[in-house]
Every structure is written in C-alpha cells, then in structure tokens.
Amino acid sequence: MEQILHSISGSLHFLAVVTWIGSMMYSMFAVAPALKHLGTPRAHAINMIAARRFSPLTWGSLAVLIVTGIYAVSGNVDKLSTLFGQPAGIVLFVKLLLVAALIVILLYQIYTLSPQMKKLINPATPKDQENALEIARAGNTANFWSWTHLVLGITVIILAVILAELLES
C-alpha cells in the first residue's frame, strides 16, 4: 500500500511540476509573442486576464507540489540526517532553496507587479509620456522576473532528476 501511495504522490508531484512550468513556457513562448503586435498596454491587459485565468491552476499546482513534496520528505525522514552529508543532500538542499525562491518570485509577481501594472493600464490613469515610461519599466521588470522564474523552475526540474539518480545509486 505504501508503494502505491508513493507512486501516486510522485505522479501528482510530476504532474504539478509539468503544469506549473509548462504554463510558464506556454505564456513566455506562445502567448507573449502573439500579443506583441497589440502594443504594450493592450498586451499587458490581455496577459493579466490570462494570468488571472491561470491563477487557480498555478495555486493548485503549488499546493499539490507542497503536499506531495512534504509527503516525499516525510517518508524519508530517517534517511535525511545521513543524506545531508552526501551529494544527494546537497542537491536536495539547493533544490529546496530554489523552490523557496520560486514561491517568493511568484508572490512578488502576483502581489506587487500585477497590481502596479493594473494601475498603470487602468483607463482612468492619464496616458502621457510618463505613464508610457512607467508601463515600459514595469513591463521590463515583469519580464525579467518571469524569465528568472522560468529558468529557476527548469533548474529545479534538472536538480530533481539528478537527485532521483543519486538516491537510486
């Protein structure tokens, strides 16, 4: 029974990673380029609508990742003290640090950058040169953090594969 639960948990963990990172890749490589011809304010407005639609999927993936990650670690608590003296422990530690960074970046994007951009593209906000510059700055900042989030997510996946190999040997 424990083996079945472990397999289900591992499958859900993998599915949540694919959903989270896959949606980022879709957004970065399909949606964003398709919106470029609309102009900055309109593209950001549509991107924000898409992000709102993806939000339940993102939060659901994050919840599944946390629960299944805790389950995976709790099943190996007895091995963790000896694990941290080995390469697998170092990889696990770096992976967990990067996951924490991913969560911080996600929260920053949702609770800081998104409201800032929403305020700037609001129809009630005067559309002058200063506004256009602020939109460009906010867009560049959002783009930087989106790319950072994606690169860290891919790095976490690579570390997970390395960790799995280290734990099998």
Least confident of 7-21, 66-80, 137-151: 66-80
Under 8 Å between Cβ of 61 and 70: no
pLDDT of residue 23: 87
The torsion angle over the Cα atoms of residues 113, 118, 121 and 122, rounded to 10 degrees, is -160
pLDDT band with cut points at 50, 70 and 90 for residue 78: low
Q: Where are the domains of the chain?
A: 2-168
Q: Which has the closest alpha carbon to 145: 120, 116, 121?
A: 116
83 to 91, 94, 133, 153, 158: CA distances (angstroms): 10, 13, 50, 23, 19
pLDDT digits (tens, 9 = 90+) for 106-158: 899 989 998 888 888 877 777 778 888 888 898 889 889 999 999 999 999 99
